[in-house]
Amino acid sequence: MTECYLDAEALQKIDACVHCGLCLTACPTYRVTGNEAESPRGRLYLMRALAEESPGVSAQAIQPHIDSCLGCLACQTACPSGVDYETLLSQTRMALLEQQPAWLRVQRRLWLEYILPRQIWLTVLATVLQQFQRIGGPRVLKRLFQNPFIQKVLGPSLQAKVGFIPHIQEIAPLAQEAVYGENIRGRVALMTGCVMNTLFARVHRATIHVLVENGYQVVIPKQTCCGALAHHAGEHDITEKLATQNITSVLQSNPDWIISNAAGCGSTLQHYASICPTNENAKRFAEKADDILAFLDRIELKPPYQSVIMKVAYHAACHLHHAQEVQQQPYSVLSQIPGLDFIPLTEADMCCGSAGVYNMAHSQMSLDILNMKMAHIHDLGPIDAILSANPGCTIQLESGLAQRNLAIPVMHPIEVLALAYTRGGIHPQGHSTHFP
């Protein structure tokens, strides 16, 4: 790097760090390694050293420490000095892209730009995986990767990677350009996302059910991937391209609000104004964008029809709790459900290790972080469901539960609320698969 990759404003953001270390224990990678370079303070130090071209500090040397950051933003919540870690991480990742091997970049761009934004590709891939799982493929792979010789040749993290592959249940994505319900209190555009719509369309059906029951018309506008994964990877041009497509097509559906039920997507949608600074409609889009639980907390909810007798614990997804600062709203919305028993989860707002595709790229670290989360879940005692408002977290938690042979469903909070708006009984597993 021949010129400073951070502008003066970004350097000032680093200066806000007073090295107090209050963020260290909030940082999952520091908790696992105890290494300062794997902490927020250490990473900020490295960013500054790179920007100032300090002797002995190169892009290659700091890359592993920036790559291993989950982007969970727990440090930002913990920091009393208000360090804007999110922006600094994003700018550093963008600057380090050129250091990555060309083959890796090409492969990643192929996924981010051509596969994830196309529902057809995701449906095909999920169907192939589902068939592989039905014939017992994962069991065979697991046994194979337990073999010491195979582990030596292919590396021990392969076994962890196989454990993180989602178990495919239902593949029934919602169609675009559909409208549900009457416009009594307003019109909501629902962002269905890519992974969310492929693997968790049941959450969209529950979301539509709750909104329609509360007098909102729900439109599923023509849309593409929100760009969250590209944004976190520092691939700005792909993020901007996807955001631009969404801004144009979603605003054409004339919504009063643009709602997401996936924490990672919601956070990115709310950043569209800074992702597309020259797009005159980006600010309007971002102002309408909101998370479903934050939205429901703002409106007056119609009283639920029935009790939901369940004991649940809530895992606070990082991109809801830290990035969007939606913290009390999920509790406040769910507290309106009669019969629901909340069991507090220790360190509910600590990352589960999923972080987009982090569990595939840094499998051992991800597993170590997941183990901390699972220890807290184990301490809960008997429970009917774990609640999570992000598809990545749901897959990660399901994987941790499966590895421990725990048959506890992971549900989105909106699924529990949808049960309370259902007349005539509750699905025994608590899953709301039959909304509209």
How many other CB atoms are found less than 10 A from the CB of residue 284? 15
Total chain residues near ligand SF4 (CB under 6 A) = 27
Q: Which is nearer to ligand SF4, 61 or 124 (CB)?
A: 61
Q: How far is the CB of 80 from ligand SF4 (least distance, A)?
A: 6
* Phi (first) and psi of residue 433, to 5 degrees: -90, -5
| Of residues 163, 166, 198, 192, the one with CA closest to residue 177 | 192
Q: Which is nearer to ligand SF4, 249 or 364 (CB)?
A: 364
Binding residues for ligand SF4 restricted to 77-106, rule: CB under 6 A: 78-79, 81, 83, 85
Q: What is d(CA 97, CA 101) in angstroms, rounded to the nearest whole number?
A: 9
Q: Which is nearer to ligand SF4, 40 or 255 (CB)?
A: 40
Two structure tokens written together for 158: 């392969």
Cβ(164)–Cβ(361) below 8 Å: no
User: Does the footprint of ligand SF4 cover residue 313 (CB under 6 A)?
Assistant: no
Q: What is d(CA 26, CA 205) in angstroms, rounded to the nearest whole number?
A: 35
Burial of 191 (0-12, 13-18, 19+ CB in 10 A): buried
Q: Which of these segments, 6-14, 70-78, 131-139, 254-262, binds ligand SF4 (CB under 6 A)? A: 70-78
Per CB under 6 A, the list member of 6, 74, 317, 340 interacting with ligand SF4 is 74
DSSP state of 257: E
Q: How far is the CB of 12 from ligand SF4 (least distance, A)?
A: 14
Q: How far is the CB of 115 from ligand SF4 (least distance, A)?
A: 26
Q: Which is nearer to ligand SF4, 44 or 316 (CB)?
A: 44
Cβ(230)–Cβ(242) below 8 Å: yes
Contacting residues for 391 by C-beta, under 8 A, at least 6 apart: 193, 195, 196, 199, 200, 262, 264
Per CB under 6 A, the list member of 75, 194, 370, 414 interacting with ligand SF4 is 75
Question: What binding mask, one character per residue, do residues 17-36 give for ligand SF4 by CB under 6 A, x or -?
Answer: xxxxxxx--xxxx-------
* C-alpha gyration radius of the chain: 22
Q: How far is the CB of 370 from ligand SF4 (least distance, A)?
A: 14
Q: How far is the CB of 364 from ligand SF4 (least distance, A)?
A: 15
Q: How far is the CB of 13 from ligand SF4 (least distance, A)?
A: 10
Please calculate the CA angle 227-233-234 and round it to the nearest 5 degrees: 90
User: Does the footprint of ligand SF4 cover residue 316 (CB under 6 A)?
Assistant: no
Which residue is associated with the tokens 């499966």?
A: 402
Distances (CA, A) of 66 to 63, 174, 231: 5, 36, 15
Q: How far is the CB of 366 from ligand SF4 (least distance, A)?
A: 11
Q: Which is nearer to ligand SF4, 70 or 220 (CB)?
A: 70
Per CB under 6 A, the list member of 6, 32, 43, 373 interacting with ligand SF4 is 43
| Of residues 96, 86, 24, the one with CA closest to residue 66 | 96
Q: How far is the CB of 30 from ligand SF4 (least distance, A)?
A: 6
Positions in the binding site for ligand SF4 (CB under 6 A):
17-23, 26-29, 40-41, 43-44, 69-75, 78-79, 81, 83, 85
